[in-house]
Structure 1
Amino acid sequence: MSIVSVSSWNDLLFKRIFCNQVIQRRMDGSEDFYRNWSDYQHGFGDTCGEFWIGNDNLYRLTSTSKYQLLIVLEDFDGNLACAVYDSFSVGPPSSNYTLKIGNYRGTAGDSLKYHNNMTFSTFDHYYLKQNCPARYKGVWWYNDCHASNLNGRYLHGNHTTYADGVNWFAFRDYHYSLKFTEMRAEMI
């Protein structure tokens, strides 16, 4: 099933239940995540595989109730780690989908707090001094530039390039691209 836009509150309720609040998944590199603003605004991919729910949908979802964010990470050796943020929301389009997260707990290390209160950036839509999306081949809530880059290039583990993979610095550093990531908004 493909990602579709949410056009009514009934659709939103259905999407919330059907998708089980998964907002992002990387698992095999089958989907290109180096995309433009419009693609991230509306969403892309397949909910059974790799996908991004869409920033419009993410804003609508997190503006209706209180959520926490669960991020599950796995490397190519089967090591798992998680990060939980006790509050999570994404602002409206007028704020460029500003990320708001609360306190961290988990085993992955906190590589998202650096991005708190940052706007979403793509290579064709960014507000920083430098074009972090183009430099690191990703799309994220960059902050000159990143401590995590979960929408970066899928590079199959160790890589010689710097910080342009599916990176979570506190878990596997900038020269390791993760095998699996899943971001989930959980109602609290």
Structure 2
Amino acid sequence: MKKGTVNELSAYRQRAWCFHLFEDFTSDNCYQLYSFGYRRNGLYNIYLNGSTKLEVYCNLENHGGGWTVIQRRVDNRTDFDRNWLDYKTGFGDKTASFWIGLENIRALTKNGDNELRIDITTCNNTKIVAEYSNFTVGPESDRYRLQLSGYQHKQGTCVQHDATIARPCFPHSNLSRKECENHKQKCCYNANVTGDHRCTHTADSMEYVNGKIFSTKDNSSGTCPSTRKGGWWYSGSTLKRRLVVLNAR
């Protein structure tokens, strides 16, 4: 993760700053809490499979409400360069930087009908938002394989784009502002930039890891977890394409 970058992954089922703990009734996700009238961000107890209690951070105030936050990085004080067991069970402070745990993500998503939202604020205050209409994680026996579809680019400006989050629209050059802004790739035009990056779009970097298994420094067939200093759904394109890896340094 770049210094100064903030990112957050949220998922909700059944389609998926005061920190207080509530436990009024049995609920198995934050969207269910939202549907029962809860509207305050904070820590809640939910019950996976109707019985296993799990403390989660619910975002009930923003983006339509009902989001279960599964990862957040606001600084580098929490070490994400961890082993398989840590990534399986989870680590960190749910009111700050944390990873909820692969086994918990599996339990939250295994019944299908989930959405994933990714919010990134870069060190130069560029805000990037992407949503996926379908999101599931497989069992540990399949190394928590990731399945994503239904990508939607929600927000991102071209003024401060860098190569990790933006790609030139085709054809690469000589597009007018009108041609760029009407492009099918939902491109944005920056007159202050020359060459290929005058007309860019915020790319779906997750497309390269869709269908991939999770890897950590002690459970991987490659070098990506050790090189990038974090567990993730890596692919052979991760290093070559400079893809965003939200658990990496």
Same fold (TM over 0.5): yes
Decide which of 69, 87, 102 is 2:149's aligned counterpart.
102
Equivalence map 1:1-188=2 (5 Å): 9-11=49-51, 15=55, 18=58, 20-106=67-153, 107=155, 108-127=202-221, 130-146=222-238, 147-153=243-249
CA distance change for structure 1 residues 15 and 63 in 2, over 3 Å: closer, same or farther?
farther
TM-score normalised according to structure 1 size: 0.71
Kept in 2, the 8 Å contact 1:83–1:109? The answer is no
Q: What is the Cα deviation at residue 10 of structure 1?
A: 3.2
Query: Would the aligned equivalents of 2:212 and 2:233 in 1 still touch at CA under 8 Å?
Result: yes
CA RMSD, 1 decimal: 2.5
Residues 1:149 and 1:18: Cα distance change in structure 2 (over 3 Å) = closer
TM-aligned CA distance change 1:38 to 1:7, over 3 Å: farther
**Deviation digits for residues 14-59 of structure 1 (CA, Å, limit 9, x no counterpart):** 6468574100000011100000000000000111000000000000
* Larger relative contact order (Cα-Cα within 8 Å, sequence gap ≥ 6): 1
Q: Which residue of 2 aligns with 1:164?
A: none
Change in CA separation of 1:121 and 1:27 when aligned onto 2, cut-off 3 Å? same
Structure 2 unaligned blocks of 5 or more: 1-18, 20-42, 60-66, 156-201
Count of aligned pairs between the two proteins: 148
Question: Is the Cα contact below 8 Å between 1:138 and 1:152 reproduced in 2?
Answer: yes
When normalised by structure 2's length, the TM-score is: 0.54
Unpaired runs of at least 5, structure 1: 154-188
How far the C-alpha of 1:109 sits from its partner, in A, is 2.4
Identity of aligned residues (%): 36
Residue 25 of structure 1 aligns to a residue whose secondary structure is: strand
Secondary structure of 2:205's partner?
coil
